[in-house]
Chains A and B, each alone.
Chain A
Amino acid sequence: MIAQRRLVVIGNGMVGHRFIEEAVARGLHQSWHITVLGEEPRAAYDRVNLSTFFAGKSADDLSLLPSRDYYHQHAIACHLGDKAAAIDRASRIITTAGGRTVLYDRLVLATGSFPFVPPVPGRDAAGCFVYRTLDDLEAIRAWATGRTAAGEARKVGVVVGGGLLGLECANAVKNLGLVTNVVDVAPRLMGIQVDDGGGALLRRKIEALGVKVHLAKVTSELTKRDDGSVAALRFADKSELPTDLVVFSAGIRPRDDLAKSSGLAMGERGGITIDHACRTSDHDVFAIGECALHQNRIYGLVAPGYHMARVAADHLAGVEDPATFSGFDMSTKLKLLGIEVASFGDAHGSAAGCHQLAFSDSRTETYKKLVLSADRKVLLGGILVGDAAAYGQLHQAMLNRIDLGTNPEALILPTIGDAKPAGFGIAALPDSAGICSCHNVSKGAICGAIRSAKLTEVGQIKSSTKAGTGCGSCVPLLKDLLKAELKKTGVEVKNHLCEHFPRSRQELHHVVRVQRIRSFDELITRHGVGTGCEICKPAVASILASTWNDHVLDAEHAGLQDTNDRYLANIQRDGTYSVVPRVPGGEITPDQLLCLGRVAKKFGLYTKITGGQRVDLFGARLEQLPLIWEELLTVGFESGHAYGKALRTVKSCVGSTWCRYGVQDSVGLAITLENRYKGLRSPHKLKSGCSGCARECAEAQSKDFGIIATENGYNLHVCGNGGMKPQHAPLLAADLSQEQVIRYLDRFLMFYIRTADRLERTATWFNKLEGGMDYLRSVVIDDKLALAAELEADMQRIVDTYQDEWRTVVEDPARRARFRAFVNSDAKDESVVMASERGQPRPATWEEKRDRVANLLTV
C-alpha cells in the first residue's frame, strides 16, 4: 500500500474553509490525507457579517460549516486553537505553538490578515480594540457594557477608519448602543469605492442615523485616564474627541510572518508572492486569500479569496484546464448601516478621455454615477449610493461591454409617470456572462439548468446551481433570467385566476363592481366555466366581500370560504379551533380581561398573548364556538378576523397620554383606524401599527400600513412586512393630519384590494408595482388616475355596512346550526383530547390519547 499523500491547510477563516469545500467537491479528501490547522478556537465563520453578532446573531449562526461534523464526515483532521508556529520547508514539517508536528507533501497557506493599527502613542490604552475575530467582538462587548473607574456606564465609542471595514465596525458599535463616532484621515468616507458626491451623500445618510463623522482628522495621540483606560483622541489640529472605547478598523495587513520566516518570496511591503496558479515561490506551497500577493496586489475582499481557493484546488486536483488567477474585478455591492452602496469598474473615472454622468437627488437620498468610454458607448464603471438596485444590470453591462445606445443617461435618471425604468434586456448578455461571481456561475449555466431541469422558481435555481447563495446581489438577475427563459420555452406566464376564470383577479374585481355581481354563481355563469375550485372560490369570496360586504356565511357565500373562514375561527392541528376577539389598538378593559379568563376556565381553553396585542384562546371544539362567543359579546368583544384574509390588528404603543416621549395619541388613532377598517376583506391579511413617537415601539414599519407620530402630525408608511421575508414599510407621506391619514389609507387600501393578485401581501404587490413609490404617491396623493373619489366611496360603503360576523351568527339560529361536530347529532367531538402542561391544556399526544379514542378506531 502506498502511504496517502498529506495536504495541510494553515488557516480556517472564510477562504481557508472555502478551499476545503472546493477540495471536497473535487474528491481531494479521498486521495489526500487533509489536515487543517487554525489559530482561533472556532471553526470558520462569516467575518463579512460580523456586526450582526451584536444584533443578536450567535457564533453558531455565523458558522460557515454546512454541518457541525463536516470535517469529521470527510475524514479531514482539524486542529483548532493551535497556531502554526514554524514551517521547515526542507523537511516539510510544520510545528505548532501547542507542540504538535505535522508533515506535509503539499501546503496551502490561508493565514489571512490582521487589522492595521496606526502607530499613535497611547494605542495600548485599555479600551482600545481591533475588529477582526469573534474574540475581538466579545472583548469589545465586555468593555462597552462594563463600568468606568468612576462607576459610570460607558457611553461613547470611536471607530478609527471610515472605509468599508470601518463603517461595518461602526454598525457593530452602534448595535452596542454606544454614541458612535467615525474618524478618518481622508476627506471622505469609503474613499476607495466612492467619489466626493457619493461620499457626501453617504456621510449625510450615516449622520442621519446618529453616527458622528469626523473627516480629515489626523489622530496624533490617545490620552489615558488615571486607570490607564482611553480618555480621548487628540488630533493634529489640537482638537479632542472624548471617548470610552476605540476600535481600529483602518485597513488590513497580510499575516505573512510564518511564510517569511520559512524563506518564501515576499512582496516589498509584505504579502506572500503567488503566481496565476496561486503557487508561492515553493512549488509545493500555495497561498490564498488576504495573505497572498498577486502582481503586487493584496485582495481584501472575500470574493477574490474564494476564487483563489478554487484555483488552488483545481491545480492540486490536477484537473484539465484548471482555473487561474489573473486579477479580480473588485466591483462590490453592499449594505452598510442599512445603506446600499455599490461601486464597480473604473469608479473614479481614471481612464483617458472617459465621460462621467452623475445624478443626485436629495429627496430620495440617492446618488448615481456612470463612467462611460470616450465614445459614450460602453460603461467603464460607476457608483451607486442609497439605491443600488441597478447594480446587477449595470455591472453586467460593463463586464460584457454592452452597447449603451444613444441615451445612456436613462440608465440612472428616475423614470417619469408610467415609463418603465430603463435597462438592458437580460437577453443582451452573452452566455459567458458571469452572473454569480461568488460561485462563478455563468448565464449559460443558469439558463441550461432552467431548461434541462424545468426549473420554475428562483429557489430551485439556487439549489441546483448555487448561484445567488453567496452575497445574494445577483438574485434580481436570476429572476429576470427565469422569466425570460420561461417565456422562451413557451411556458406562458398567465395571470388568469385559475382554469375556471380566464381573467386576472384585478379584472374580476372590476367586473364584479361595474356589473354589480353579487354571487359566485352569477360570476362564473357570466365570466367563467365549470363549477370552480379551491383557488377561485375563496378568491371570489374575498372580492365579493370587499365590494358588497355581505356576511361571509350567507347561504350563497358560505360554501366558497377557506377552512378557517368557514367557521370564523382558526383550525389547529388537533382539529380544535382558536378564538381571537378584537382588541382595537390593544386597549382592553378590566371587565374584558376578566371575561377572557372566565371563558377560558369554563371551556378549558389554553390562553396565549398574540403578537398583535390580543389574547388567543386555543382548544375550542366546533360546537363550543357559538357558546364562547355568546359570553364574549356581553363585554363588547367583536370578531378579531384572525381567521380571515382581512384586517387583523392595529398595534399601538401607549402614546402621549402616558408616555413621557409620546408626541401624539397613538392609542386613540390606532383604535379609530382599527374600528374603521375592521372586517375589511383583502387579497391577504392586513396588519398595522401606530407609534406615538419616532422610537417606534409599535413596530409600524414592519406592517402593511404603519403610522408614526411626529411633532407635526403623522408619517404614513405602507407595504411593510414581517414574516419570512421581512421588509421595511417605506414612507408614503409625512406630517399628515388624522383626516389626511384616513383619506390616504382609504385610497391606498382600496387600490391594493382592487389591483393585487390573490394571496399577495402589500409588500409583494408593491415590489411588482411599476414605478414604485413615486407611482403609488401619484395615485394615492396626487390622484393621477382620477380614482380617489371612487376609492374613498368604496371604502366608506364597507365602513357603513360593517357587521360583527360573530354577533350575527350567535343571534341567528340558522347560521348557528352550522356549528355542530356532526351533521346528524349534537354529540360532542370525542376525537379531541387534552393533556396538561405548565398549568394549561394542550393537545394530547397520540400516546396519551390512544386509549381514550380506541373505540373510535375499532368500530
Chain B
Amino acid sequence: MSDDLNWRPVGHERDWPADGGKVVQVGARRVGVYRHAGKWYALKDICPHAGVSLAKGPVRDGVVMCIGHGWTFSLASGDLVSGPAGFSVATYAVRQRDDGTVEVGT
C-alpha cells in the first residue's frame, strides 16, 4: 500500500464482527469497512442503485449483498457481481495497525 495516502484511524478491530461490515465517517465520506475471511476491505457506503447503506448487508464469498434489492458488489474491486451491468462503488485503502487500530487511507 502506498504511503502517499492520508491514513486516518476509524476504530479498533474489536468494534467489528469476525466477519462483516460497519460504517465509518472519513471526513464527509461514508465508508463501509469490512473484515472478511481475515482481510480488510473498504467501499463507499451507498448503493448506487437506491441509496441504501451497503455495509448493513450480509457478506460472503468476497461480496457484500445490498439489503435493498440483493445486488452484490465485490469487496476487493467494488464492481457489481450480480445485478444490472454498469454499476460499481469506489474502494478505499484500509489497514489494521499492530495495536488493533483500523485505518482508512484517502
Q: A residues near B, CB below 8 A?
A: 531-534, 537, 558-560, 563, 566, 571-575, 821-825, 827, 829-833, 845-846, 849-850, 853, 855-857, 859
Contact = CB atoms under 8 A, between A and B. Distances in A.
Return the 9 tightest CB-CB contacts between A and B, nearest first. Answer: A823-B11, A559-B18, A559-B17, A575-B53, A846-B50, A825-B25, A859-B28, A831-B53, A823-B24
B101 to A, nearest CB: 11
Contacts of A563: 56-58, 67
B99 interface: no
A574 B20 CA distance: 18
A853 B51 contact: yes
Given A534-B60, A537-B19, A855 B24 contact: no
Contacts of A572: 67
A856 B30 contact: yes
30 contacts: A531-B18, A531-B37, A537-B19, A558-B17, A559-B19, A563-B57, A563-B58, A566-B17, A572-B67, A574-B67, A575-B52, A822-B24, A823-B10, A823-B16, A823-B22, A823-B33, A824-B10, A829-B23, A829-B53, A830-B30, A831-B45, A831-B51, A833-B51, A846-B51, A849-B51, A850-B51, A853-B51, A856-B51, A859-B27, A859-B28
A824 B11 contact: yes
A833 B46 CA distance: 13
Q: Which of A849, A855, A859 counts the most B-chain CB atoms under 10 A from its CB?
A: A859
A574 B30 CA distance: 16
Contacts of B25: 822, 824-825, 827
Nearest to B48: A857
Nearest to B60: A534
A598 B33 CA distance: 36
Contact of A823 (B20, B23, B51): B23
A605 to B, nearest CB: 18
Contacts of B28: 855, 859
Interface string B1-24: 000000001110001111110111
Nearest to B12: A823
Given A537-B19, A559-B18, A824-B24, A859 B29 contact: yes
Contacts of B15: 823
A850 B67 CA distance: 18
A574 B18 contact: no
B86 interface: no
Of A537, A559, A831, most buried by chain B (CB within 10 Å of CB) is: A831
Contacts of A534: 19, 58-60
Given A573-B52, A831-B52, A849-B51, A856 B46 contact: yes
Given A531-B38, A534-B58, A823-B22, A857 B53 contact: no
A822 to B, nearest CB: 5
Contacts of B27: 859
A853 B67 contact: no
Contacts of A573: 52, 67-69
Contacts of B11: 823-824
Main secondary structure of the interface of A (DSSP, over half): loop
A816 B74 CA distance: 31
Contacts of B24: 822-825
Task: Indicate the member of B10, B20, B51, B68 with the most A CB atoms within 10 Å.
Answer: B51
Q: Chain A CB within 10 Å — which of B27, B57, B67 has the most?
A: B67
B46 A853 contact: yes
Contacts of A531: 18, 37-38
Given A559-B17, A821-B23, A849-B51, 15 more contacts: A534-B58, A534-B60, A537-B18, A537-B19, A563-B56, A566-B20, A571-B67, A573-B52, A573-B68, A574-B52, A822-B22, A823-B11, A824-B11, A825-B25, A833-B51
Interface string B33-69: 1000110000001101111110011111000000111
A560 B20 CA distance: 10
Nearest to A573: B68
B1 to A, nearest CB: 20
Contacts of A559: 17-20
Contacts of B29: 859
Nearest to B50: A846
Contacts of A827: 25
A17 to B, nearest CB: 37
Contacts of A574: 52, 67-68
Contact of A575 (B9, B17, B59, B68): B68
A152 to B, nearest CB: 56
Contacts of A859: 27-29
A624 to B, nearest CB: 15
A843 to B, nearest CB: 9
A264 B27 CA distance: 89
Among B29, B46, B48, chain A packs the most CB atoms within 10 A around the CB of B46
A558 B18 CA distance: 9
A849 B46 CA distance: 13
Nearest to A521: B18
Nearest to A562: B58
Q: Which of A563, A823, A845, A846 has the most CB of B within 10 A?
A: A823
A531 B68 CA distance: 29
Contacts of A566: 17, 20
Given A559-B17, A856-B30, A571 B50 contact: no
A179 B60 CA distance: 58
Contacts of B59: 534
Interface in B69-87: 69
A532 B16 CA distance: 16
B23 to A, nearest CB: 5
A855 B69 CA distance: 22
Nearest to A821: B23
Nearest to B11: A823
A821 B58 CA distance: 16
Contacts of A822: 22-25, 30
Contacts of A832: 53
Nearest to B49: A846
A620 to B, nearest CB: 13
A851 to B, nearest CB: 11
Nearest to A558: B17
A829 B69 CA distance: 19
A537 B30 CA distance: 28
Contacts of B56: 563, 571, 575
A566 B9 CA distance: 24
A209 B27 CA distance: 70
A572 B52 CA distance: 10
Nearest to B18: A559
Nearest to A572: B67
Contacts of A821: 23
Contacts of A845: 50
Contacts of B9: 824
A825 B8 CA distance: 14
B34 to A, nearest CB: 12
Nearest to B15: A823
A115 to B, nearest CB: 51
Contacts of A825: 24-25
A857 B10 CA distance: 20
